[in-house]
Amino acid sequence: MKKIIVSLTALTFAASGLVGCANMSETQRDTGIGAGIGAVAGAAIGRATAGGNKGKSTTTGAAVGAAVGAAGGYLWSQHMQKQKAEMEQATQGTGIGVSQTADNQLKVDIPSDVSFDTGRYDIKPNMRPVLDRLAGGLNQHPVTTVTIIGHTDSTGSDAVNNPLSINRAAAVRDYLTARGVSAQRIAIDGRGSRQPVADNSTASGRAMNRRVEIFVGEAAQ
């Protein structure tokens, strides 16, 4: 009976992990998101997200992933709700998307109209107030971690797009760290043109695909 209970418990945990992964978007799954993911998976995903960190060690990404994995997901606290409201106010009318993900992270989705021109990774002036507000919230609540994912449209080859997407994520990270956010809290990655959200055959679709996604999470205790 004891063996059966142990087996059922193991199966329950395994099933819950699989269901959580099935319900998550590809970006969330790849960046170490989701309740029920263990420390080993968290560390592996963390290492993956640190891959484009401009020569920095993968230790930062692994530590972020492992901490979240061990904690069993993210907590949507009053502070997270407050930060979401502040970001919604700061981005009103800009086209920037602010949302709570299924696994309780704050997602800020910044399209090319605000973020980057084709082939560039320098931050536009109208993106700076948004990042300033985000940095302020992060500094007020230092227990949160940040994952920044850069994306490109399909213009150009993977040899160009992959490093470009990483450079876009790195530019956002560097902007935040210049405003006091610890680099140890931030993991970055670039997806090139592999995760489009719109049709790359149109100019408007390419503009939507040329974006950066910022995920802010408070690890559950």
The whole-angstrom separation of Cα 42 and Cα 71 is 10
Q: What pLDDT does residue 50 have?
A: 45
The alpha-carbon radius of gyration of the chain (Å, integer) is 18
pLDDT digit string, tens, across residues 20-46: 444 444 444 444 444 344 343 344 444
Instruction: Give the torsion through C-alpha atoms of 131, 57, 119, 127, to 10 deg.
Output: 0
Residues 143-201: tens digit of each pLDDT: 999 999 999 999 889 999 999 999 999 999 999 999 999 999 999 999 999 999 999 99
Higher pLDDT, 192 or 119: 192
DSSP states along 148-180: EEE---SSS-HHHHHHHHHHHHHHHHHHHHTTT
Our CA angle for 109, 99, 167, nearest 5°, is: 25
> Percent of the chain at pLDDT above 70?
67
Average pLDDT over residues 107-132: 88
Residue 120 has pLDDT above 80, yes or no: yes
Predicted TM-score of the model (pTM): 0.69
Residue 210 DSSP label: S
- State pLDDT tens for residues 80-99: 999 999 999 999 988 899 99
